Amino acid sequence: MTDILNRRNFLTKGALGGAAAVAGASLAAPAIAQELPTLKWRLTSGFPNNLDTIYGGAVVMAEALSKMTEGKFQIQVFQAGELVPGPQAIDAVQSNTVEIAHTCGYYFTGKNPTFAIGSTIPFGLNARQQNAWLYHGGGNELYDEFLSEYGIVGKPGGGTGAQMGGWFRNEIKSVDDLKGIKMRIAGVAGEVMSRLGVVPQQLPGGDIYPALERGTIDAAEWVGPYDDERLGFYQIAPYYYYPAYWEGGLTIHFFINKAQYEALPEAYKVALDTACKAANINMQALYDVKNTAAIRSLVGKGVNLRPMPRDVMDAAYKATFELYAEYSEKHPAWAKIYPAWKKFRDESFEWFRVAEYSYDSYMYAAQASGK
């Protein structure tokens, strides 16, 4: 009987001890959460807030982050020009004027063309290939190594898919028709177009329509049907070309002050990384829905859709890879990333030709024939 009582006593104590341990664990979780600091960061966007999809990527990220951290880690989003002009977003992050920016890397090729390779470069990757390279093909690591020279960390934060080739006042029938055209086009693409006779102009999104209206520029590219319709380009330039060979799969980035990022508790780093991924996927999906409706609307308004002439594409392709060879000689950072990017691109193209291209080609042709 004593042994039985002892066993009962042991079991009772064990049960009580286990319950206490569980209760302790349940009590400890909020206590741990309470130990995390309350943080409020500021984000400067590279875009005006009337472009709800591309600007909205930062809002999606900030709202998700706040909810995941129960409001303890908040990021306030400011549109371009509200705190600093869009072209100064990287400088603001470097100087810690703001902790984070949401913008395109290729806007800063004046500092170094390597800024563009993490976002998109001419005749590069499509949207899926871009995500594959960045997340699992070594792209993020290579890009962050470059960005560390500027005291910055980069997180993919939005995709547009393949963009449109832009709006032109006059029809472009061959590469000769590009000569002397003043065109709003940014980054590496502007350098390529300049070699085809175009006079490139880098303007923020909000300045494009007034420049077209005044005749300061003759053509402009931005993103695609949804944004372009909202900006009203069709009212001035009736010819709409596709595709943008320079933006097969743009990634917009969250550029974060490296010291601020590294000082975050691990739980906040994970939450921030997850919120950035959510914004990246969400933006691409939104554009795919909104562009589908907008292209029909634009055609209904009399817009002239035109494919980019083949000789323009061929001349641009040749000029592009000549330019990349020059970058490899002049810019060590570019030379360090480009070979790995090019290898990934070429091998990815080989795979996508097998299943994806075959499937897409058949399905689009079948649908167009009324099947």
149-193 confidence digits (pLDDT tens): 999 999 999 999 999 999 999 999 999 999 999 999 989 999 999
- In which band, very low, low, confident or very high, does the pLDDT at 30 lie, cut at 50, 70 and 90? very low
Whole-number percent of the chain with pLDDT over 90: 88
The model's pLDDT over 189-247, given as tens digits with 9 standing for 90+, comes to 999 999 999 999 999 888 999 999 999 999 999 999 999 999 999 999 999 999 999 99
- Cite the DSSP H helix spans in 109-204: 114-117, 127-136, 139-147, 187-194
Give the residue numbers of the binding site. Answer: 163, 184, 221-222, 247
Q: What pLDDT is attached to residue 34?
A: 63
Pick the more confident residue, 30 or 49.
49
Report whether 62 contacts 74 (CB < 8 A).
yes
The average confidence (pLDDT) of the chain is 92
Strands (E), the chain: 39-45, 73-78, 100-103, 152-159, 166-168, 182-184, 199-201, 219-220, 239-242, 251-257, 304-307
CA distances, 125 to each of 165, 220, 242, 248, 341 (Å): 16, 22, 16, 6, 9
Q: What pLDDT is attached to residue 33?
A: 56
Domain boundaries, the chain: 39-159+249-289
Cβ count near 231 (within 10 Å): 21
Give the residue numbers of the binding site for Na(+). Answer: 222
- Which of 2-11, 23-32, 33-42, 142-151: highest mean pLDDT? 142-151
Give the residue numbers of the binding site for substrate. Answer: 163, 184, 221, 247
- In which band, very low, low, confident or very high, does the pLDDT at 371 lie, cut at 50, 70 and 90? confident
Q: Does the structure show a pLDDT above 80 at 7? A: no
- In which band, very low, low, confident or very high, does the pLDDT at 35 lie, cut at 50, 70 and 90? confident
CA distance 217 to 225: 20
CA distance 264 to 273: 12
Domain 39-159+249-289 CATH class label:
alpha beta
